[in-house]
Amino acid sequence: MTPHNNAAKGEIAKSVLMPGDPKRAKFIAESFLEDAKLVNDVRGALAYTGKYKGKEVSIMASGMGDGSMGIYSHELFKEYDVDRIIRVGSAGSISDDLKLGDVVAALSASTDSGYLNHYNFPGVFAPTASAKLIKALLKIDDTIVLGPIYSTPVFYCDDSYFEPCKKMGLLAVEMEAAALYANAAELGKDAITLLTISDIIGKEECLTAKEREETFTKMINTALELAISF
């Protein structure tokens, strides 16, 4: 156990899906897994373990931002011997080529966060997804959009803040991928981030509640297939 996770050793699977919202973690567990069991409820970061198509999978909320993702993913990798984490979440598009409901797999996650400073890397570390998971993902669904994204701890800011990101070819904005990828790299683990485009930054376009549910379901099915492919 850790200060943030009261699951016992062995109660968390080797593959973990991580949505940000605890309620979404609960929804995934109850809707997609068989025999789902609540294994953590510390600070409301709900974690469940069950089976998908006969294989064990865990679902755990990461909370919002790099600090929260940094804590939970590090503990899963190091203290619970998790091999791979698949972040499943939403993002705002900054690309003219993306539309609402598209699913993006984040190849890399540029960031304005200071989270990466503590690694004492001699230069600017580039957080990237696991090549192993990217290859496996493409065998499951080759229609997913692949590309670089931007991770930031800032939620409320002027839309113009993201213009340099768009100029450099980044596709979308979210809050957790950079910390997840950096932890995975440090600890020799695998990680990938799948994101449903829920809104278009700079435009008054966003998914309805029904559309969010439908597109979210497609993304989760893909993530679960990826989780059990190892």
Which residues are part of the catalytic machinery?
A: 199
Asked whether 60 and 52 are in contact (CB, 8 A), the reply is no
